Amino acid sequence: MQASSVMVFPSESDVPFSWFVSSLHRLPDAATFARSTGHAGEAAIRLNFDAFFDRHTQIQPWMDEGQQAFASRMQHLREVFQKHSQKLAVYRVGEIQVHIYIVAVVQGRVVGLETLSIET
């Protein structure tokens, strides 16, 4: 997905987004999603897609150029996902090493982007 090329999620690790295709065919509850991604038993929550992006796309006066650029890239990413599906979600799996999955159901498959956020 070109919208995510060279894009990193800001955290203590700044891990780039990577593309993934799941074996799932619909958006499951958080525990099922965690199991499907190899994180069975880890803390997992399903977030509202729009609420997640609202938080990361609002440009504030105190932001530096890099933060503003990230917010703009996140807005573009949001639009790309919304263009391809109406079935959208964000999953957070883990506690300190938090795997973040931005997902959509496209042509009957759960696909999306994943990154890692280190939150100590």
Token pair recorded at residue 16? 């780039």
Is 26 within 8 Å of 105 (Cβ atoms)?
yes
Query: 0.85 exceeded by the pTM?
Result: yes
- Top CATH class, 2-118: alpha beta
pLDDT at 5: 47
pLDDT at 6 over 60: no
Is 33 within 8 Å of 101 (Cβ atoms)?
yes
pLDDT at 1: 45
**What would the pLDDT profile of 68-102 be if each residue is shown by its tens digit?**
888 889 899 999 999 999 999 999 999 999 999 99
pLDDT at 60: 87
